[in-house]
Amino acid sequence: MMDGRIGKIRTAFENNGFVDTIILSYAAKYASAFYGPFRDAVGAGLLLGSKGKTTYQMDPRNSLEAISEISLDINEGADIIMVKPAMPYLDIVNQISKKFQIPCFAYQVSGEYSMLIAAIKNGWLSEDDVIKESLIGIKRAGATAIFTYFAPKIAKKLKRWHILAKTYRKLPVNGRTSDITS
C-alpha cells in the first residue's frame, strides 16, 4: 500500500533485536465497496469524504499492480501477504499462492459477511451450507488462512462437521470407503 513501508519496518525491527518478527503485508488491499458496513459502523465514511481510500488502495480492475506490489514487499522482508477483500479477489489469492513461497491470508470483510447474512436471514441461502462453501472457495483458491466475521460461528460448527466427516468417511461407496474431506 505504501512503497518502502515493509523495508522500513523490517529494518527497524532488526536494528532493535527483533530478528524473528513476522510482518504481514497488506499489499493486496483493494479499494472496495465491500468495506462499507465496517466503515459505516465506525463512522469512517463521513471522515473519508467522496474519494475514500481509493487514492492508496488497489484499483479493483488491476491485478498486475497487486502482484508487483506483493513482489516488492516480499523483497523488503514481508513474511505473509493479506488479500482484502477475499471473495472478489480469489484470482489474486490463487496467483499469489502459485507464484510466491510465503503464506497468503484472505480476509472475508464486513460487506461479504453482511451480504451472506442478509441472504440467510431472508431465507434465500442455507446458513451452514453458504458459510462453509464461501470459506471452502477461499481455501481452494490458495489461501493459507482466512480472516472472517464468521469465525465464532464456524469454530462451533467445525467440531460437529469433523465428527460428521469421521462418520461419513467410514461409509462404503461403490465398494470403497468414502472420504468426504478430500
Hey, which residues are catalytic here? Answer: 29, 84
Please give the radius of gyration of the chain, using alpha carbons only, rounded to the nearest integer.
19
Distances (CA, A) of 132 to 51, 89, 128, 138: 35, 18, 6, 10
Cβ pair 1, 70 in contact under 8 A: no
Max Cα-Cα span within the chain: 63
Helix (H) or strand (E) holding 24: strand 24-29
The secondary structure of 74-132 as a DSSP string is HHHT--EEEEESSGGGHHHHHHHHHH-SS-EEEEE-HHHHHHHHHHHHTTSS-HHHHHH
